[in-house]
Amino acid sequence: MIAIGCDHGGYTLKEAIKAHLDERGIAYKDFGTYSEESVDYPVYAKKVADAVVSGECEKGLLFCGTGIGISIAANKVKGVRCACCSDYFSAKYTRMHNDANILAMGGRVVGPGLAAELVDVFLDTPYEGGRHAKRVSQIADLEK
């Protein structure tokens, strides 16, 4: 199960990604928002982050205007490694090297076609572990 959420600036992109996930047969839980009416992105970042950290959902997808604000908010939740990505290489390597558990994107930055590619590589790429595990552990230590 994938957790998804957005603010008003990411709503349209979130809806496009929901359709893409439906096409791929990937289950998700939509934590809102459910329209383009102005809302505060930290609320939705926290809902998705909590679902991922608790294990309710395996990974998360977040959307705001740029992807930046909502990723900053999500990263305040202990256990979250959220990466804001707008290119394929970054979306792939944040999984491989950082074991990122949430991908953030900007609805005013990334179009639906590219966003679907980024979601696919993010969801389908495994974490390599190995030499990267020490660094991911050091990140976790920063939360203590």
Q: Which of 63, 68, 137 is nearest to 99 (CA)?
A: 137
First to last CA, the chain: 28
97 is catalytic: yes
8 is catalytic: no
Q: DSSP assignment of 99-123, as one string?
A: ---EEEEETTTS-HHHHHHHHHHHH
Q: Which of 6, 57, 64, 85 is catalytic?
A: 64
- Please report where in the chains the tokens 């979130």 appear, as a residue: 14
Catalytic residue numbers read 64, 97
